[in-house]
Amino acid sequence: MINSNTRNHFKALKSGKVYLDTAATSLTPDIVVDKMAEYYNEYPSNVHRGNYAWGDVATTEYEGTRDKIRTWCNADNYEIVFTSGATFSSNLIYYNLHNLGIKKSIVSLNDHHANIVPYRLHNNEVEQIEIPDNGVFNEEELFKFGSLDAHMLHISGVFNATGQILDIEKITHRAKDLGAIVALDMSQHMSHDSLDADKVNADFYYWSSHKHYGPTGTGILLIKKSIADQIQPLIGGGAQVSNVTENKTEYWDMPLKLEAGTPNIAGVIGTGASIDFMQEIGMDVIHTHTQNLLGMVIKELKERKIPIICEDLPLEQRGGLVSFTIPGQHSYDVSVALGLKDIYVRSGKLCAHPVVNKLSDTGFIRVSVGVNNNEVDVARFLGALDQVLTYG
């Protein structure tokens, strides 16, 4: 159950602020911070290297996070790779298109820049699904090309600007039946809903730890074991190699092959603690809590006749966030005014310029909720918003 004890884990809230920007970066509970401090204070060693007690403990904690992810996501059929974040993971997938035999990729202009820009760096052949006039993505557009043999379908499970949830299981099964490889950005999913990786059966999943109460600078990439041998490192260095001679390089097996250099050890260990934190609460409880709060926000916005992005989307197809605009006011001005009242929301183009530019001339205002929020937060947000609506 989400209660005051849960909120007490977030020391940042003691300042009295209302934080409604979980979709950008979730708050970090004390048990995550404490676990990272434990690493620095008690066993501050590199992993997979030192032949002494600190190194053994650090490696055990680091590798233990893989086990936690595998259980949390039901990912027995996947290699679990640690990266610097979702953006790096997306680029690593792009970098391996040739190795996977991919001739063309399909992306959506509704999506985050991290899933669009990599394809433009080297003018890779890509099909861009256009943004509908109402902003609501039509999943059928992904399949208008017929056979998807030698195609990569690369898309988010939840769009970060509109909040629309896609039916990733249905999309993945259909795409794979047509011959595609599927990569899913789960960054906006993991903080408020469970993932059954084996059941959905995508080839890649990835996200950033800071989206689900973990530290920044840490990413999780799941790679289907059946294709893992085809994936080559994006960067090279120590730790990933078993032997280097004058003219030969031999790599360790997955996942270490993709983890060159000293990793973000504290970040990975903290990621494990964030999973423990959520598992202790229960993913079903988290989902119900965030959806209830989001429903309250949407109801009150509609009562105030505030234009909501993708207004026709039902609550069950919204992933923890809602974006809106206020006619006659720029999103930046609104968010600054709210911030001065200790209400923290996101505004602007949200790293999703195409969809925001399509649907607004002044940017989006986005409210996203997490386990750190409650009904009082919603009431304070609405009270501050009413002042903005009245006085500008």
Instruction: Tell me the pairing of strands 104-108 and 126-129.
Output: parallel
**Residues 304-313: b if buried by 16+ CB within 10 A, e if exposed:** eebebbbeeb
**Helix pair angle (375-391, 283-303), 10° resolution:** 20
Q: Look up residue 24 and give its amino acid.
A: A
Tokens of 80: 């679990």
Strand ranges for the chain from DSSP E = 18-19, 78-83, 104-108, 126-129, 151-156, 181-185, 204-208, 219-224, 241-244, 249-251, 321-324, 343-344, 346-348, 364-368
Q: How many CA atoms lie within 13 A of 74 on its CB side?
A: 9
* Contact of 298 with 322, CB cutoff 8 Å: yes
> In 3D, which of 225, 277, 274 has the Cα closest to residue 254?
225
**Helix pair angle (265-281, 283-303), 10° resolution:** 80
Tokens of 48: 């997979």
| Active-site residue identified among 227, 241, 337, 351 | 351
Q: Is 3 exposed, middle or buried (CB count within 10 Å of its CB: 0-12, 13-18, 19+)?
A: exposed
> In 3D, which of 94, 86, 149, 144 has the Cα closest to residue 123?
94
**Residues 106-115: b if buried by 16+ CB within 10 A, e if exposed:** bbbbbbbbbb
Q: DSSP 3-state assignment of 154?
A: strand
> In 3D, which of 208, 165, 285, 289 has the Cα closest to residue 26?
208
Q: 310 an active-site residue?
A: no
User: What's the first-to-final CA gap in the chain, in angstroms?
Assistant: 38
Catalytic residues: 351
